Amino acid sequence: MEAKEFKVRWVMAIDIDKCTGCGACMVACQAENNLAPVEDASFKLRVMNWLVVYELSNKQPFPDHDIAYLPRPCMQCGNPPCVSVCPVIATDKNEEGGIVSQVTPRCIGCRYCMAACPYHARYFNWFDPSWPEGMEKVLTPDVSVRPRGVVEKCTFCHHRFMQAKDKAIVEGRDPEALNDGDYVTSCAEACPNGAIVFGDVNNPDHAVYELARSQYACRLLERLHADPQVYYISRREWVRRQLDNYLENEQVKG
Amino acid sequence: MAVDRRGFLKFVTGVSAGIMVTPVPWVLLDDLSIWTQNWPWIPSNVDGPNTFVSTVSKLCPSCVGMKVRLVGDRPVRILPDDNHPLSKGGISALAVAEAQMLHSPARVRRPLKRSGDGAYVAISWEEADALLAEKLGSAKGSLACVSGDETGTINEVLSAFTARAGSQNFYLMPSEIQPAAKALAAMGGEGQFGYDIENSDYVLAIGANILESWGTAIRNRAAFKDAHPHGQEPTVPYVYVGAVQGNTAAGADKWIAIKPGTEGAFALGLAHLLIKSGASSYASDFSAFASLAAGYTPEKVAELTGASADGIKALAAELQKARRPLVITGSEFGQGTPVGTVAAGMAVNLLLGGLNRPGGVKLLPVAAPVVDSALSRAQMMEKDFVAYLSRINAGKEKAPEAMLFYEANPAYGLPQADKMAEVLAQVPFKATFTTFLDETAMLCDLVLPVPMGLERLDDVATPYGSGSALYCLARPVAPMPANVRPAADYILGLAGKLGYSLGFGKWEDVLKAKAQAMGANWKSLMAGDVFVSTETVGASLSFGADLIAKSLTAKTAEGDFALAPVHKLNMGTAKTAIPPYNNKTIRRWELQGSEIYVAMNGATARKLNVSKHDKVVVSNKSGSIVARVNVFEGIMSDTVAVLMGLGHTAFDQFSKGKGENVMQLLTVGFEPGSGQSVWAMAGVNISKA
Ligand code: SF4
Ligand code: SF4
């Protein structure tokens, strides 16, 4: 299947060498998208997280050990494996910008998409979300709270995209040609290291245009041809090697 | 009318087609799916007009600047503030959760009094006032006060109050600022060390976790960001020297592993090589320092620290090549640092010509106190709370009649925490001004709820680590809960009642006076601007050679293994515990259920004959913890890394009963020379459980 062509394609270019694993992006994501806190978050399979910062290791013994952190949102794949399996079209890749939507009220909770996603980017609400008394006052008005029984995932803070477009329209600008920085995700905004850069990869005026074309840029499991809209940059070969499970003697890019 | 088979089939087909065509069943299904997802117990979003207010975090030790997004009068998001010099477009994992913490289940919402049976009962403010006035009145001359706020002018109010009550026992909770201040004093300087990281062309952190928790961490990280253009070679190298390949090492371009607590020796090794290749100084004690450093040859330092001699030489050569190098020393977990360690790091800066030059260490001016009989910042830095408690414990000093805590949680946050709590138990009357029901509140007779930083007017004056003297206000952005009272105003009122004159009746007036003393404009501060001064204090520092020499004679820790506590801001602080939204950032092999994991490298694990997930007991004479093993190769050999921020026995379901508190294992010692209490070098024994 050919990937759909979009005039605007929102991507992240994450410099793994700049991420120190602080977790600010994860907390910012939860707060922005109204994910509920949990008492015990140590059973990682059940914990809802649209963005997870994974730890990578070069697997060398001390003192040759090296570490890296990999923030993983939804890749907003160009050929999203999750979309084709959804029986009720609760998830789709249609809108200009290339963000894979997730319409939770339409989701019937069959979880086919979770099985199909190679990046474990999708989460199922096993329980109703609950906030300690009073904390629901901090919910943002932008993203509705999801009930138990539906699947959810990162949307590249889609509501911020809509707000940026609205603002452009009000100001008489072309909403299909937003300026670099008009629309950024909550995680990219929060990161003190600037490890996550966000923008339109088709627009030469956006920083990601060059970054995605960097010799050090590659995507997760690229050889699955899901065509992700998240680029990872690392000057370290061992990191790039792990991003696509390269064989020991295989050549990697960069 | 007879219906034949064909007619029946036509009818069925027609009906089926009709059903397919009519939208009714689909609409009903859709309605059903929406209806089944709209349970009344699931909160729904409430819209309103958006406003944004710039302020500064009083919870996060990095004093990060932030922009609060309000919907109506509700703060909903904490966002980075591009214009704040301590945010520069970034936010910490702790401050970003601050809006949610306004509604934390651990918040104290009304005054509590401990009744005879140990239970806490809610009382009115009038009762609390009367009790406090009575107890403090009778404790005159025997009061102690502890503050957990390092940067606020409230310390002037509290220290003046303590002084008026006839006592000199005002203390700050220990952090990196005290050893730094003592080092500066020993080197003959005034003011406060400032680190001009933005203008440096080579940043070397020895111990200090500059990209996670040390000093103005978010500002440090903004400098790191600029020095690391996306996807390109770094323009300024960052090097981290420390026992654990933690978050700072992960960002740094180079990591050199050393044993915990050997930061001072490592710095002297660099000084030795710099002097050998010609670095010199006019300082009065240069020759004394040079002869001290002469003993720290690369080989000797390699033996002491566990780093390689070649690595040390290469590092010294790189420092020498740099034009504006900066060396930052501290403890990996932000406390317990010996004064000599800071001084040794400063000595390297002096040899590199780094004093008061761009990209080096600056001496920042500190404003004089504005409240009558308050301690100056320098005097506050002299006071050592851990030493005070140790003296009481040893019977060398009488326990005070009453103790006041302000946003301080010594019962959890001090080394040998349980022991410290025992000492606190000797104090007959204790009251705490606190936002959360923390471990210390659980020891107090009276718990007085104060507003959070987002709900009160407060200030931040030049946090330690900042590159310039600065002043800004935390402004109330959220409505204050009905039954909490701002501590500063309350103390001023109490002082009035007890007949102690502090010269101010209102907190706002204290802040106005402070702003003036700093040279800042009140109106512009109230508009959210930050006052930044470019001033430095001129000085010719000595090396503090004598102090460094004595400090380095400290005994090495007992036990077969070294302990490396790991401090990360996502875990909160002793004052905040783990914010509800931050649980998910705890890594899989840091905590499982209620079990803490401790980390060691493969060689150490083999030596102990343990493998991943095995249960071990980590102990020393101060205490012991039971933990599971995580094998992680980014740790010095014979060292065990333990995450700080776990093992709370108070607060709420998001923190309580999770893992163990590493502070139990940190043994207090006293630094030869300075006499400062130190606990950056703890030894432990590890055995299979
Ligand atoms: S906020 Fe930035 S540095 Fe921290 S974990 Fe996320 S991407 Fe990494
Ligand atoms: S990362 Fe997973 S959820 Fe996201 S678009 Fe790709 S397949 Fe779908």
Cβ pair A18:B225 closer than 8 A: yes
Q: Which ligand is nearest to the CA of A118?
A: 2
Identify the pLDDT of residue B398: 95
For residue A29, the model assigns a pLDDT of 98
Mean pLDDT of B483-507: 95
Q: If you take atom 8 of ligand 2, which residue's CA is the nearest one?
A: A82
Ordered by start, the domain boundaries in chain A are: 10-242
Which residues on A lie below 8 Å from B78 (Cβ)? 31
Please indicate whether residue A124, judged by its CB atom, sits closer than 6 Å to ligand 1: no
Residues of chain A contacting B90 with CB distance shorter than 8 Å: 24, 190-194
Span of A145-149, B34-38, B463-467, B620-624 with lowest mean pLDDT: B34-38
The arrangement of strands across the sheet holding B238-242 comes to: B254-257, B238-242, B202-206, B325-329
SS3 for B354-409 is: CECCCCCEEEECCCCCCCCCCCCHHHHHHCCHHHHHHHHHCCCCCCCCEEEEECCC
Whether B633 and A15 lie within 8 Å, measured CB to CB: no
Closest A-chain CA to B588: A42
Question: Is residue A195 lining ligand 1, measured as CB closer than 6 Å?
Answer: yes
Most A CBs within 10 Å: which of B103, B213, B581, as the mutation test of the A interface?
A: B581
d(CA B369, CA B20): 81
Task: Report the CATH fold assignment for A10-242.
Answer: Alpha-Beta Plaits (3.30.70)
Any idea what DSSP says for residue B662? Answer: G
Question: DSSP letter at B232?
Answer: S
Which two tokens mark B668?
Answer: 């207090």
Q: Output the CA A19–ligand 1 centroid distance in Å.
A: 5
Ligand nearest A186 Cα, by number? 1
Given a cut of 60, is residue B404 above it in pLDDT? yes
Q: Cα-Cα-Cα-Cα dihedral of A227, A229, A234, A237, to 10°?
A: -10
Which pLDDT belongs to residue B2?
67
pLDDT in tens, A76-102: 999 999 999 999 999 999 999 999 999
Report ipTM for this prediction. Answer: 0.96
User: Is the Cβ of A142 closer than 8 Å to some Cβ of chain B?
Assistant: yes
Q: Does the pLDDT value for residue A254 go beyond 80? A: no
Q: How far is CA A91 from CA A79, A222, B345, B568, in A?
A: 13, 22, 57, 37
Q: In chain B, what are the domains?
A: 5-38 (no CATH), 50-102 (3.30.200.210), 112-172+367-461+469-533 (3.40.50.740), 177-364 (3.40.228.10), 555-688 (2.40.40.20)
Cβ of A116 below 6 Å from ligand 1: no
Residue of B nearest to A197 (CA): B230
- Among residues B258, B238, B260, B259, which one has the least CA distance to residue B249? B238
Look at residue B375 and tell me whether its pLDDT is greater than 70: yes
Kindly indicate the confidence band of residue B128, based on its pLDDT and cuts at 50, 70 and 90.
very high
A34 in contact with ligand 2, CB cutoff 6 A: no
Task: Give chain B's radius of gyration (CA, Å).
Answer: 28
How confident is the model over A148-175, as a mean pLDDT? 97
Nearest alpha-carbon partner for B427 in B450, B399, B404, B466: B399
User: What spacing in Å lies between the alpha carbon of A223 and ligand 2's midpoint?
Assistant: 15
Note whether A41 contacts B249, CB cutoff 8 Å.
no
Q: How far apart are CA B457 and CA B471, in angstroms?
A: 14
DSSP string, B8-72: HHHHHHHHHHHHHHSSHHHHHHHHHHHHTT--TTS-------EEEEEEE-SSSTT--EEEEEEET
Mutation to probe ligand 1, out of A191, A197, A231, A239 (largest number of atoms < 8 A from CB): A191
> Which residue's alpha carbon is nearest to atom 3 within ligand 1?
A19
Check residue A1 and give its pLDDT: 52
- Among all chains, which residue has been given the structure tokens 């010594």? B410
- What are the CA-CA distances from residue B176 to residues B216, B328, B336, B425, B668 (Å)? 12, 12, 8, 27, 15
Whole-number Å distance between alpha carbons of B348 and B344: 7
Report the residue from B251, B593, B601 with minimal CB separation from A193: B251
Q: Is there a contact between B254 and B237 (Cβ–Cβ < 8 Å)? A: yes
First to last CA, chain B: 88
- The answer on pLDDT for B34 being more than 80 is no
Dig out the tokens for A52 from the structure.
Answer: 């997870």
Which chain B residues contact residue A125 at CB under 8 A? none
Give the integer Cα–Cα distance in Å for B516 and B514: 5
Q: What is the pLDDT of residue B418?
A: 85
pLDDT band for position B12 (50/70/90)? confident
Mean pLDDT, chain A, rounded, equals 95
DSSP string, A46-91: T---SSEEEEEE--PPTTS--EEEEEE-----SS-HHHHH-TT--S
* Lowest-confidence region among A189-203, B39-53, B295-309: B39-53
**Which residues, listed in sequence order, are joined to residue B171 by a DSSP beta bridge?**
B146
E strand intervals along B263-331:
325-329
Q: Do A141 and B581 touch (CB under 8 A)?
A: no
Bridge partners (DSSP) of residue B41 are none
Q: Say if strands B624-631 and B591-592 run parallel, antiparallel, or are unpaired.
A: unpaired
Atom in ligand 1 nearest the alpha carbon of residue A196 = 7
Question: Higher model confidence: residue B7 or residue B187?
Answer: B187
pLDDT, position A2: 63
Which ligand places an atom closest to the C-alpha of A51?
1
Neighbouring CB atoms inside 10 A of A1's CB total: 6
The pLDDT assigned to B5 comes to 80
Q: Which of A1-10, A119-128, A174-183 has the lowest mean pLDDT?
A: A1-10
Give me the pLDDT at residue B13, please. Answer: 78
How confident is the model at residue B127, as a pLDDT?
A: 96
Q: Is the pLDDT of residue B559 over 90?
A: no
- For B564, the enclosing helix (H) or strand (E) is strand B561-566
Query: Helices (H) and strands (E) in chain A — how many of each?
Result: 7, 8
The structure tokens listed for B465 are 């680590």
Residue B20 pLDDT level (bands cut at 50, 70, 90): low
Average pLDDT value for chain B: 95
**pLDDT at residue B539 above 60?**
yes
pLDDT for the residue B315:
98
Query: Do B680 and B670 touch, CB atoms closer than 8 A?
Result: no
Taking CA atoms, B70 is separated from A138, B48, B454, B473, B533, in Å, by 9, 9, 11, 18, 31
Output the pLDDT for position B537. 94
Q: What's the confidence (pLDDT) of residue B22?
A: 76
Ligand 1 proximity of A21 Cβ (cutoff 6 Å): yes
Residues of chain A in contact with residue B221, where contact means CB-CB under 8 angstroms, are 20, 192-193
